[in-house]
Amino acid sequence: MLARRGTEDEHSRLIDIAQLTMERLSQDKQLTRTSDPMLLHWDLHKRNIYVSAEDPTHVTSIIDWQFTSIEPIFIYANDTPDFAEISNALAAKDEEALATPCISSTQDEHSRRDSLICRKTFEVIIAAKLPRLAAARAIDDTMLRLFRYCRSSHTSSDLVLRHELLELSRLWSELNMSKLKLFLMDKLDSSSEEWVSPESWQSARNANKVFLKQWMEVVGNSEDPDMNEVRGRGLWPWEEK
């Protein structure tokens, strides 16, 4: 089946929309903080890593550098090497699995546990040695995919780029609310579950009322036909107490 390429006018309009969207995304602090250039070897998989036969923990060489490039950190942030990949089902149970002694002698159980250890080790090393990359990996991938696929429409199909724009549009409000929640956690000195210390309770409560009032003013001036006072209050992350 041939890929849908679309008309010249469709491509032109799609590129214009993508450009405007990327300009707006580029102003987001999450991206500006993780857009510094970094030397990236994005094909860092097991087949390209050589280790010592006597000591497998000692890396002797890394090959296949032809795709290595200097890119903004967030471009390949969510690529995970195959030695650290695990399924979503396995990831949901990883803490329990690692906390339980491995008493099974089956190869599958040992392989599963080894995969979990590799994944955890990878995450710890990234956080400790490459904090900027760790910060980029924490960004919602919906915000990043447009930068990866914006150049693909003219060579293959416009469907991927169109899909990413639609996904970004659908999740835009959720992304903004996520940033609002992080802002409130910082300003109210609160946990994500709305817990504050007894000493901070009254000041956090007063600050929440001030921010909520400002938020409702924004809702009242919104041009979004689906936004109203009821929906605005429903979107607010913290309860008014």
Q: Of 15-24, 43-52, 59-68, 178-187, give the lowest mean pLDDT range.
A: 178-187
How far apart, in whole angstroms, are the C-alpha atoms of residue 218 and residue 53? 63
> In this predicted model, what pLDDT tens digit does every residue of 113-141 receive, in sequence order?
888 888 888 888 988 888 888 888 888 78
* φ, ψ at 136 (rounded to 5°): -70, -35
How far apart, in whole angstroms, are the C-alpha atoms of residue 218 and residue 176? 13
- Centre a 10 Å sphere on the Cβ of residue 154 and count the other Cβ atoms it contains: 13
User: H or E segment at 3?
Assistant: none
- Whether the per-residue pLDDT at 46 is higher than 80: the answer is yes
How far apart, in whole angstroms, are the C-alpha atoms of residue 215 and residue 208? 10
Strands (E), the chain: 37-40, 49-51, 59-62, 69-72
Q: Give 6's pLDDT tier (boundaries 50, 70, 90).
A: low
